[in-house]
Amino acid sequence: MKSYNIAVIGGDGTGPEVTREALKVLDAAQRKFGFKLHYTHYDFGGARYLKTGETLPDSAIEEFRKQHAIFLGAIGHPDVKPGILECGILLKARFALDQYINLRPVKLYRTEDCPLKDKTPQDVDFVVVRENTGGIYTGVGGVVQKGTPMEIATQVMIYGRPVVERCVRYAYEVTRRRNKKKMLTLVHKCNVLTHAGDLWVRTHKEIGDQDYPDIKQDYNHVDACTMWFVKQPEWYDVIVTENLFGDIITDLAAIIQGGLGVAAGGNINPEGVSMFEPMGGSAPKYTGQNVINPIAAINAAGMMLDTLGEREAAAAIDAAVTTALNSGKIKSLAAGRMGLSTTQVGDLVAATV
Ligand code: IPM
Ligand code: MN
């Protein structure tokens, strides 16, 4: 029987509650599809940081390298200054494990969860492939004359051809495997970013012309893309974009798919160890009340199985989520308004996997 070692970081706030439900669904999936998941739990997060000053030690990164994947509930603590946990845990794992893809499926399950007028699940169904370790996030830049009236600070959108190319290739592969519109839209701002944008434009075209003649090439400026998300989301199939633009457009995308209750993401190293997480934060005000929506975490678990190669099980989880959401039992996707508890939603999905 195939078996996989999974590092589990429940994390802060409601993170452990949604993680519990995701593992419940994974347990149902492994029983049904005949594989085994071995979990190692880690207590990284705000609470541990406040106690020990430690975010994500190098020794943990070394242990993660030996795992097949990482599952992360949520990171974020009201008593920890913004930036410390994000940089110390999330970004550290992304960079250290070279998780160079951020994969964000954008799928609306129910018409009533979409804030856009007249849009249905048929209209909101695309994937964003965000470059996840380059660009402005590399931190290249600096500051001089800090605190003076003449202060200057830079943060550089730095990209090399190999980093762009591996991301673009991954996105073409996603497009081909999805086999829907077979269209890969590059989102950038090449009318202004004439150096970095042009590198993306040429790479998108060259790789496409050479190796993916079956895939249509499409381009949007990032500002226009945000309008089209609202006006005509049905245009999109797969989007590829650089890191910061991807960060911004995937939040907008999360809202049109029904919000943080369902949105999940994968920080993927296609040749290494990937990390999966629900997009919602630690939601401190809902902690311990059993009212947070676990579906985003369940979707993240499904993506994890898909990336591990357990595609049938992943598809079964997605089908179970669809069934649960259309059962009439879940009133809303918002925390506290579901009409069911966190545990009950997890039970409902687990029962139909
Ligand atoms: C995300 C988050 C992170 C990012 C933060 C928490 C560092 O917003 O995963 O989209 O900016 O990438
Ligand atoms: Mn973000």
pLDDT in tens, 298-317: 999 999 999 999 999 999 99
The residue type found at 325 is: L
The pLDDT-based confidence of 182 (bands split at 50, 70, 90) is: very high
Tell me, in angstroms, the distance from the centre of ligand 2 to residue 159's CA.
20
Tell me, in angstroms, the distance from the centre of ligand 1 to residue 250's CA.
10
């499904």: which residue's tokens? 302
pLDDT in tens, 14-50: 999 999 999 999 999 999 999 999 999 999 999 999 9
- Determine the pLDDT at residue 102: 98
Mean pLDDT over the full length of the chain: 97
- Determine the pLDDT at residue 147: 98
- Determine the pLDDT at residue 284: 94
- Determine the pLDDT at residue 15: 98
The pLDDT-based confidence of 273 (bands split at 50, 70, 90) is: very high
- Determine the pLDDT at residue 107: 98
d(CA 200, CA 226): 19
Tell me, in angstroms, the distance from the centre of ligand 2 to residue 245's CA.
10
- Determine the pLDDT at residue 4: 98
Give residue 156's region: left, alpha or beta (phi > 0; psi -120 to 50). beta
Q: Which residues 6+ apart lie within 8 Å of 315 measured at CB?
A: 306
Mutate to test the pocket of ligand 1, among 91, 136, 247 (most ligand atoms within 8 A of CB): 247
- Arithmetic mean of pLDDT, 124-132: 98
- Determine the pLDDT at residue 11: 97
Measured CA to CA in angstroms, residue 144 lies from 11, 147, 151, 154, 156 at distances of 37, 9, 6, 9, 15
3 state DSSP class of 213: coil
The residue type found at 241 is: T
The pLDDT-based confidence of 84 (bands split at 50, 70, 90) is: very high
Give residue 227's region: left, alpha or beta (phi > 0; psi -120 to 50). alpha
- Containing 191, the helix (H) or strand (E) segment is none
Tell me, in angstroms, the distance from the centre of ligand 2 to residue 103's CA.
12
Structure tokens at 155: 């943060």
Q: Which residues 6+ apart lie within 8 Å of 145 measured at CB?
A: 151, 152
Cβ atoms within 10 Å of 250's Cβ, excluding its own:
20
For Cα atoms 173, 70, 322, give the angle at the middle one, nearest 5 degrees.
65
The pLDDT-based confidence of 232 (bands split at 50, 70, 90) is: very high
Pocket of ligand 1 (CB under 6 A): 86, 90-91, 247
The pLDDT-based confidence of 288 (bands split at 50, 70, 90) is: very high
- Arithmetic mean of pLDDT, 215-233: 98
Structure tokens at 313: 């099980």
- Determine the pLDDT at residue 127: 98
CB under 5 Å of ion ligand 2: residues:
247
Domains and CATH numbers, the chain: 1-105+259-353 (3.40.718.10), 125-256 (3.40.718.10)
- Determine the pLDDT at residue 8: 98
- DSSP letter, residue 182: -
